Amino acid sequence: MTFTRRETLAVGGAALAVAALPAKLMASTADLIAGVTGGAAASSDGIELTAPEIAENGNTVPIAVSAPGAVAITLLAGGNPTPGVATFNFGSGSAEQSASTRIRLAGTQDVIAVAKMADGSFVAAAQTVKVTIGGCGG
């Protein structure tokens, strides 16, 4: 199979467009994380975000998050009309800094968890959830 110059350009252009898409998503994810941390860098160690890969119903998507040693965990969904989902503030009586809940997602998007650790540093995790039916009404 040989490519003409024209075909090569077309294929290359399409590949570029595909490559640019995730980069755009990543940028908004980074912006959201920076919004919580106040611009401080967030590492990815020590936080675990459990979300389904595919959620058929965007009205109830089960999410679990765990970050040992965290004082607060913020959940964000960048593709929703309002990105904030919930903030868990852990008190001294909590055994393990983990929580699970059910959230609404308007469409396929990244779910982000940002944890503030006791020493003031931040850790963050993100996972893409594919949503078949959005959960924000019309």
With CB under 8 A as the rule, give the number of residues binding other proteins.
33
Mention every residue, 6+ apart, whose C-beta is less than 8 A from residue 115: 46, 47, 65, 67, 70, 72, 73, 74, 97, 122, 123, 124
- Tell me the C-alpha distance between 133 and 110, whole Å: 16
The contact mask relative to other proteins for 48-67 (x = CB under 8 A, - = no) is -----------xxx--x---
The structure tokens listed for 14 are: 């399409």
- Report the residue from 16, 45, 95, 119 that binds other proteins according to the rule CB under 8 A: 95
Q: By CB under 8 A, is residue 77 in contact with other proteins?
A: yes
**Residues that bind other proteins in the complex, under the rule CB under 8 A:** 59-61, 64, 77, 80-82, 84-96, 98-105, 135-138
